[in-house]
Amino acid sequence: MSIALSPVESSRCLRCETLPPKLTGPGTLHLRFPLAHSRAKILNYLRDAHLQYFDKEDTLSIQAPEQDLTPLLAPLMNVLSSTEQADVRVLFEASGRPLQLSDYFEIESLDSFLARAQSGWLVDMIDQDRLTSWFQPIVHCADPKRVFAYECLLRGREGDQMVPPKRILDVARGSGLLFQLDRAARLSAIRQAADFGVEATLFINFTPTSIYDPVNCLRTTVQEVDRRGLRRDQVTFEVIESESVRDTQQLKDILDFYRSSGFGVALDDVGSGYSSLNLLGLLRPDYIKLDRELTTNVHADPYKATIARKLLETAQELGLKTIVEGVELQEEYAWARDHGADYAQGYFFARPGSPPPLL
């Protein structure tokens, strides 16, 4: 039997727009071990810690009497190696709720379960709209005092402290929150830019692996651009982590959706690997950003200089605009300018800030 969804429900991306419940106890943690030595390690830990458990063949069932699972789970990260954590399978049975058939579809690796159990702070950060954006200028190479665009960079707020993007992204990847985080980060960037009245071009990052279907997953992003009064041709969506993309056709569909909706598209970290170069012909972005590893000391490294120069020449022949990122030295900027880069970005010009830095 199928259930008909209303037009509003069918247009929503439930994966992107719905946060999972936080993983809390009390309950029973069922662990299945593919290897006996991994099971023996956990058994020794449980005995030494005087924790209650049930042992049946290759499965251990551990009692978790507290709501906060962290004190129980955190030591497991030290007992088992990362490879073992990926191999052990976990099923959590909440107290007072017998296992249902659907629960068995939630069996996951121990490392994934540990990440989810410790991701409550990120669920709260997304739910309470405590994500924000900082802005880093992208300047004209011919006139570095003139801002061409701002890249919107993810940050989180925890009281008076800023949470760095790496911590946020690492937890999101490990706990399956990348879909929700990516959407929330895009919306935050749009709102912040509108609130600050930014009139320059905006580069907004997105992770293509966090998008199932562009029409549904990106619906709220497009709506927010229009609602906040930004021009669509003012916004460029920048592909990050292109090296991890396996379904290149899906990525092409996403970029085609952005283009058909009136936005620009950019490919980040070009030159960091073969796949990003191979994507140029398929995706044909409006902008490419040279990987910062190529930029560092490019003026003094003939090997890097040769690769970077060829990339710039190729982009010019294809009619693509180029951005050299990670510029921190006068010599790096001068090299980019002298070799025909259109734009540049990096600490040499300005660090990210909120509100957007003025040069």
Q: Model confidence over 286-327: pLDDT tens digits?
A: 999 998 999 999 999 999 999 999 999 999 998 999 999 999
Tell me, what's the pLDDT at 354?
Answer: 94
Residue 332 in 3-state DSSP? helix
In the block, residue with structure tokens 């009281």: 159
- How far apart are the two ends of the chain, measured CA to CA in Å? 61
Tens-place pLDDT, residues 249-286: 888 888 888 899 999 999 887 766 555 667 777 788 99
Tell me, what's the pLDDT at 242?
Answer: 54
Tell me, what's the pLDDT at 2?
Answer: 32
Residue 36 in 3-state DSSP? helix
CATH 1.20.1440.120 for domain 24-118, yes or no, is no
Q: Identify the band that residue 89 occupies on the pLDDT scale cut at 50, 70 and 90.
A: very high
Is the distance from CB of 290 to CB of 311 less than 8 angstroms? yes
Q: Which residues contact 229 (CB under 8 A, 6 or more apart)?
A: 194
Domain ranges of the chain: 24-118, 124-345
What is the CATH superfamily name and number for domain 124-345?
EAL domain (3.20.20.450)
By DSSP bridging, strand 287-290 and strand 161-163 are unpaired
> Matching CATH topology for 24-118 and 124-345?
no
The number of CA neighbours under 13 Å toward the Cβ of 228 is: 25
Q: What is the dihedral of CA 140, 144, 149, 151, to 10 degrees?
A: 120
In the block, residue with structure tokens 């022949």: 317
Q: What share of the chain is helix, strand, coil (3-state, %, to 5)?
A: 45, 25, 30
